[in-house]
Structure 1
Amino acid sequence: MNPVLYWLLVVIGIGITAVALILVAALLIFVERRLLGLLQDRYGPNRAGPFGILQSIADALKLLSKEAFVPPFADRFFYTLAPILVASSVLLSFVVVPVGPGLSWAGELNVGLLFVLAMSSINAYGVFLGGWASNSKFPLIGSVRAIAQLISYELSLGLAVMGVVLLAGSFSLERIVQAQHIPYIVLQPLGFLIFLICGIAETHRLPFDLPEAENELAAGFNTEYGGMRFGLFFLGEYMGVVLIAALTTALYLGGWHGPFQPWLAVPWFALKTLLIVLLFFWLRASLPRLRYDQLIAFGWKFLLPLALLNVMVTALVGLLWK
């Protein structure tokens, strides 16, 4: 194929994928609101359209029509850059996620898992910049909390996936899925739990939404944001939930492996991902927010030692098995 045509098709495909992910995030916002209404025995959105199905579209129109206001005391460049970093880092992470055999934009990238971890760190930079560049008290506290939260779970998250890497012998997400003749949740139950808990903290979801704690920090690191700048933060959070769910599926739930292969590979991957997303929504309706010091203590005193233990046991069993 002509290289120019090839790269043109790749760019078009990535654009279509980005639009599809944004639409999925908008749909998930509606699904979460309806589900929270059901779980908390109250009405969910029911005004805009049948069953409130147009609520997300109404929210998007509201954000698009708001004035693009920059507070006079903010650092304009970093204030504008922060939400772009948050949304773009999550979108770029989907490039290496295989939803079927050979179905990922980056192909079989041998450092795909490392790429996702690197993008998650850039996401944290965006959150920190959002609070710092606002030059306001509560956003700054929220951004400092985000960094403290990051160093409390990021190391545990990296160590949790090391057990999977040891079993598969590769950092390629596609090879990890291909190696799962038995889903790694069976062989790595502790690693799965640690990764899931750290994923909840990564996406700032309850009970770990301390950077945005409404009853303490107004709205946290994004307090001074409005319009589509706030919308990008919001979008990045929901796309992050989908990303963590997709990674959990690829790393621990066998990815696209399931019955009626290969015809139902992509739907099977999507179904597993959706179930993890619904679990995130369920936890939000069920658990209270942890205190700031409780999260730090939990990350350093429990998650990190357990993640180290999981890596050592996996390495030892693998060595003895060989």
Structure 2
Amino acid sequence: MSTRVSSVLAAGPAPTDPTLESFGRDPWWLIGGKVLAIFAFLVLTVLITMWIERRVIGRMQLRVGPNRAGPFGLLQALADGVKLALKEDIVPRQVDKVVFVLAPIMSAVPAFISFAIIPFGPTVSVFGHHTPLQGTDLPVAVLVVLAMSSMGVYGIVLAGWSSMSPYSLLGGLRSSAQVISYEIAMGLSFVAVFLFAGTMSTTGIVNAQADRWFILLLLPSFIIYVITMMGESNRIPFDLPEGEGELVGGFHTEYSSLKFAMFFLAEYINLATLSALATTLFLGGWRAPAPISTVWEGANAGWWPVLWFLVKMGLFIFFFIWLRGSLPRVRYDQLMRLGWKVLMPASLGWILLVATVRALRNEGYDMQQIALYAAIVAGVVLVATVLWELLRGEGDKDKQIVPDVGSGGPKKGGAAAAAGFPVPPMDAPHYHGRSTETPSRPATTTTTREEVGSGTH
């Protein structure tokens, strides 16, 4: 009893809000316990997310969903994992075997590492030691998530390249182009958060939202992040690297057994990481919502914040599942146009506006007047952008060239151009360079039996 009291006194009073200096002081067994807890949490989250996804989409499509393995089908995801582990591991003969084996590992390992900087809650007491409910934290913790997501794309690209399959190669190339388009916009959406929080540490960002969540102050950044995280996760409506309708399975077409399972494990872990990062950056992290935190003083202390964090993260995961069951897959030109021509310019303009507002606020200007001017400028820019796109679309429609079926030459205008996307003529008289007409024969040609026998015509 005396030993326990002395250890608690040695730990000292636990601060409610951890800081960057709170890390690096834990004993080795506590660090190992955190790593094991994060690993178990991610694996369990993947199993639960798979079950929820199948049940929710089944309900949306008037189906039952998994209901055989275990109560309410809860063990279905575990049964699928065991099935994949016991299946035969087929490696095609022509693949680059070293890269082929390393590719799924390169996708799964960075996904686990990314979750280490996500804060689950404040400082708590674990066997007499006060420690933050977080694996670790860094001065550039958010950039670690971007770096790990970029490393995961290497696994997808190398999987497509090493498979020596055209479908897999196209899927890998699509993934590399997609991550370039959307990760730049995602990084730009973080800049406004860094400007308001004054740090890139996840702990500092959560502490900066003690009074007001950033989703209220930085709504455009939140909207841009939500769109980019759908592109980052390679899920519908941006699942073009897999594209079952056109690429069979995309980058993992040639994979089976555990290697195939590791790609899906990385996908669902990235889904959880992106949802947890959105919760940390824009929804106050582990802090309770305003009605609860104002009524209950202990809502943001102890182990209760873990519950608030899991609820917010679960809502984001449900949002991913809802979009998958509702939206169709977009075309690749639409995806690239959205990333390069909409999200990036909007992010840059929003960053300039936020930086200007922060600079004027530091100079002591009236914030209400600044907000009014900012809203006017944003409205003018938005209206001008919409008008520009409408006028530009009308001009492009007049310049579209479609094939003239009757004369065999091109002509301007027409609905078959489909906004510049090539559409083949459906009633052309020629198909694949061959005429559909019956070749004419000379009317006076006759052949007798004697001519056939003698070889003369």
How is 1:251-290 mapped onto 2 (pairs within 5 angstroms)? Answer: 251-258=281-288, 259=293, 260-263=299-302, 264-290=304-330
Q: Could you tell me the percent identity over the aligned residues?
A: 44
- Structure with higher strand content: 2
Please say if residues 167 and 247 of structure 2, whose CA atoms lie closer than 8 Å, have aligned partners that are also in contact. yes
> Do structure 1's residue 123 and structure 2's residue 152 form an aligned pair?
yes
| Structure-to-structure mapping, 1:161-310, within 5 angstroms | 161-180=190-209, 181-258=211-288, 259=293, 260-263=299-302, 264-310=304-350
Q: Could you tell me which of 100, 115, 120 is aligned with 1:99?
A: 120
- Structure 1 CA distance, aligned partners of 2:354 and 2:163? 45
Q: 1:15 Cα shift? A: 2.5
1:13 equivalent in structure 2 = 34
2:38–2:116 CA contact under 8 A, matched in 1: no
Rg comparison, structure with higher value: 2
2:86 counterpart of 1:46? no
Shift of 1:47: 2.1
Distance 1:271 1:178 in 2: 19
Distance apart, 1:183 and its partner CA: 0.6
Which residues of structure 1 form unaligned runs of 5+?
none
Deviation at 1:8, TM superposition (A): 4.0
Structure 1 residues 321 and 202: alpha-carbon distance in aligned structure 2, compared to 1, 3 A threshold: same
| Cα deviations by residue, 1:2-55 (Å, 9 ceiling, x for unpaired) | x9x923442343123212211210111011000001112122112222222111
Q: Relative contact order (C-alpha < 8 Å, sep 6+): which is higher?
A: 1
3-state SS of paired residue (1:309): helix
* 1:104-162 deviations in Å (ceiling 9; x for gaps): 111x3111011111101101111111111111110100000001111111110000011
- Counterpart of 1:304, as a letter, is M
2: CA distance, partners of 1:150 / 1:17:
26
Q: CA deviation at 1:225?
A: 0.5
RMSD: 1.6
Bigger drift between 46-55 and 182-191 goes to: 46-55
More divergent stretch after superposition (268-277 vs 46-55): 46-55
What is the TM-score when the length of structure 1 is the normalising length?
0.96
Cα distance in 2 for residues equivalent to 1:284 and 1:147? 22
Deviations 1:234-283 (CA, angstroms, capped at 9, x unpaired)? 01101111100000000000111113121321110111010010000000
Runs of 4+ residues over 4 Å off in structure 1: none
Moved more, 259-268 or 238-247: 259-268
What is the count of residue pairs matched by the alignment? 320
Q: Which structure is higher in helix share?
A: 1
Give the CA deviation at 1:215. Answer: 0.6
Query: Deviation per CA, 1:59-87, whole angstroms, max 9, x where unpaired?
Result: 01111101222211111111111111111
What is the aligned partner in structure 1 of residue 48 from structure 2? 27
Q: Please, which moves more after superposition, 16-25 or 120-129?
A: 16-25
Partner in structure 2 of residue 66 of structure 1: 87
CA distance in 1, matches of 2:66, 2:183: 35
**Structure 2 unaligned residues grouped into runs of 5+:** 1-6, 8-23, 123-131, 294-298, 363-457
